[in-house]
Amino acid sequence: MRTSVVIVGAGPAGLLLGQLLHKAGIDNIILEQRSGDYVLGRIRAGVLEQVSVDLLEEAGAAERMHAEGLPHDGIELLFGGKRHRINLHELTGGKRVMVYGQTEVTRDLMEVRAKAGLTTVYEAQKVQPHDFETDAPRVTYEKDGVQHTIECDFIAGCDGFHGICRASAPKDKIKTFEKVYPFGWLGLLSDTPPVSEELIYAHTERGFALCSQRSQTRSRYYLQVPLTEKVEDWSDERFWEELKLRLDPEARERLVTGPSLEKSIAPLRSFVTEPMRFGRMFLAGDAAHIVPPTGAKGLNLAASDVGYLYTGLKQYYQSGSSEGIDAYSERCLRRIWNAERFSWWMTSLMHKFPDMNDFDVKVQEAELGYIVRSQAGSTSLAENYVGLPLL
Ligand code: RFL
Ligand code: PHB
């Protein structure tokens, strides 16, 4: 078998890349180790920057997002028991974010891919990239006990943090940067109306909480918890009681509780791989970097990597120039380090760290006060939150 680009991983990065390449007339095959249902069962990000919205449009997968997604013009910061609005729209000269779940993005991309009749091999086992430092790369995998080989021009490693592509890069050519945080987020999804029209990021003495949403009838809430916590020990009742303790009196009063549809704990990590290209293999999305979710950047970075990779590959196939693919790693990393900084900063500002003393808490509160009172402070948060322009 032969194709132009083998994409490893059918998460949002892999599916988006596949669709954009297809639109540009570049054939591709996606290999995914899990089933389609398993991929759709993972509840993750919920906030899209304009850059991601634009790429979904270009991929022809934006119809339902525009019909059902919720454009948001602001977010709320809760600290010292009070909420303060950050007017993203005004502070950024008219930008906003789109609240639309990663599950829905993935479903829409899967549907357009199926409609276009493109190949996605689900439940592909033992996927392995080979010879990507030569001009003749190939990828092998097993399906139903049968071994397959695909020859290709390029390999796109869109296989997430635990994927095989980064792990296959030569050890002497790869450098990684990492920071692990001493807590996680316990998330709960429920068919209840959101507590507030906009997202609430809460700094409290009991730890961080986030009130997010998927639609006008579906909410997503998160609580900062120690890494030692087990999801089995968190009944729905316990979750709702703890969330109430981290909200202001009005929100506490308005909160509608209900049975959970999903509940899970995600550890928080910052991680970057340099470079993101090894010969004819490129890494994109979580395969190359992780941000803590506080800045809502994970999915958006995956989309912008894909945007750069697609532009570079299109240029290569249409005009024979390798300028775009040669600049890929550097272009991505400039954007990634900005998002890493912002996500680390939001995480440091909003969470309760185990080694913090009273002084450290006062400094966090002073900084939060500065952000909401100062135009410069709130503009800095707003322009990073909606997404910095593509360079
Ligand atoms: P994904 O979504 O992890 O998809 C990678 C795909 O590759 C497959 N795969 C393989 N396929 C074949 N062979 C192999 N050897 C393979 N190894 C892995 C996997 O099964 C999977 O289908 O990466 P992608 O596409 O780069 O997308 C990135 C986003 O998913 C990610 O950045 C965000 O979801 C991060 N993230 C969150 N971001 C937010 O902005 N807000 C959140 O609330 C939020 N919550 C989360 C998250 C990430 C989590 N992870 C990765 C554990 C919660 C969790 C639990
Ligand atoms: C979510 O809705 O899952 C979400 C929203 C904003 C974040 C993180 C997660 O910062």
Ligand 1 and 102: CB distance under 6 A: yes
pLDDT of 226 above 90: yes
* Ligand 2 neighbour 212 (Cβ under 6 A): yes
Please report, rounded to a whole number, the percentage of residues in the chain having pLDDT higher than 90.
98
Nearest-atom index, ligand 2, CA of 45: 3
Domains of the chain listed by start with CATH number:
2-71+100-179+269-376 (3.50.50.60)
**Each residue's pLDDT tens digit, 294-304:** 999 999 999 99
Q: What is the spatial distance between Cα 45 and Cα 245, in angstroms, rounded to a whole number?
A: 24
**Residue 172 to residues 98, 134, 138, 139, 367, Cα–Cα distance (Å):** 41, 17, 22, 22, 41
272 lines ligand 2 (CB under 6 A): no
Asked if residue 390 has pLDDT above 90, the reply is no
Strand pairing category for 82-87 and 97-99: unpaired
Q: Whose Cα sits closest to atom 39 in ligand 1?
A: 45
pLDDT in tens, 348-372: 999 999 999 999 999 999 999 999 9
Positive/negative CA dihedral, 124, 163, 65, 268: positive
Mean pLDDT of 270-284: 98
Give the atom of ligand 1 at the shortest distance from the alpha carbon of 15.
25
Q: Whole-number mean pLDDT of the chain?
A: 97
β-bridge partners, 273:
176
The token pair that represents 50 in the structure block: 């304009």
Q: Is the peptide bond before 275 cis (omega within 30 degrees of 0)?
A: yes
Cβ(18) – ligand 1 distance below 6 Å: no
Query: Looking at ligand 1, which residue's alpha carbon is closest to its atom 2?
Result: 11
State in Å: Cα 221 to ligand 1 middle: 19
Query: How far apart, in whole angstroms, are the C-alpha atoms of residue 12 and residue 42?
Result: 11
Does 43 score more than 90 pLDDT? no
Which stretches of the chain are DSSP H helices?
A: 12-23, 36-41, 50-58, 63-68, 88-91, 102-115, 164-168, 236-245, 249-254, 298-319, 323-350, 358-373, 375-386
* β-strand partners of 175: 274
CA 282 to chain centre: 18
Per 3-state DSSP, the chain is made up of helix, strand and coil in percentages (nearest 5) of 40, 25, 30
Structure tokens at 8: 């490893």
Q: Is 350 in the pocket of ligand 2 (CB under 6 A)?
A: no
**DSSP bridge partners of 222:** 187, 210
Catalytic residues, by residue number, are 72, 201, 293, 297, 385
The single-letter code of the amino acid at 1 is: M
Determine the distance separating the centroid of ligand 2 and the alpha carbon of 316, expressed in angstroms: 36
Ligand 1 pocket member 86 (CB < 6 A): no
Mean pLDDT of 12-26: 98
When pLDDT is averaged across residues 94-99 and rounded to a whole number, the result is: 97
Report how far residue 282's alpha carbon sits from residue 137's, in angstroms, rounded to the nearest whole number.
Answer: 12
- Does residue 90 carry a pLDDT above 90? yes
- Tokens 């010292």 sit at which residue? 80
**Residue 273: CA atoms inside 13 Å, Cβ hemisphere, count?**
28
pLDDT band, very low/low/confident/very high, at 187 (cuts 50, 70, 90): very high
The answer, yes or no, to whether any atom of ligand 1 lies below 6 A from the CB of 44, is: yes
Cβ contacts of residue 112 below 8 Å, gap of 6+?
19, 59, 60, 61
Q: At residue 391, does pLDDT exceed 90?
A: no
**How far is the centre of ligand 1, averaged over its atoms, from the C-alpha of 11 (Å)?**
6
- % of residues, the chain, pLDDT over 70: 100
pLDDT exceeds cutoff 90 at 323 = yes
Q: Report the pLDDT value the prediction gives residue 354, as an integer from 0 to 100.
A: 96
**Largest Cα–Cα distance of the chain, in whole Å?**
63
Ligand nearest to the CA of 283: 1
Q: Which helix (H) or strand (E) holds 79?
A: strand 74-79
Residue 40 has a pLDDT of 94
CA gyration radius for the chain? 21
Assess whether the C-beta atom of 159 lies below 6 angstroms from ligand 1.
yes
Mean pLDDT of 40-52: 93
Atom from ligand 2 closest to the CA of residue 44: 3
Which residue's CA is minimally distant from atom 1 of ligand 2? Answer: 46
pLDDT for the residue numbered 72: 98
Taking CA atoms only, the protein residue closest to ligand 2 atom 4 is 46
Look up the pTM and report it: 0.97
Closest C-alpha residue for ligand 1 atom 46: 44
What is the CA(266)–ligand 2 centre distance, in A?
A: 12
Distance CA 198, CA 189 (A): 16
382, 74 Cβ separation under 8 angstroms:
no
HEC letters along 157-197: ECCCCCCHHHHHCCHHHCEEEEEEEEEEEEEEEECCCCCCC
From first CA to last CA, the distance across the chain in angstroms is 37
Whether residue 214 has its Cβ less than 6 Å from ligand 2: no
pLDDT at site 113: 97
CA distances from 48 to 71, 196, 296, 387 (A): 9, 19, 8, 9
Give the ligand at the shortest distance from the Cα of 42. Answer: 1
Residue 176's identity, in one-letter code, is T
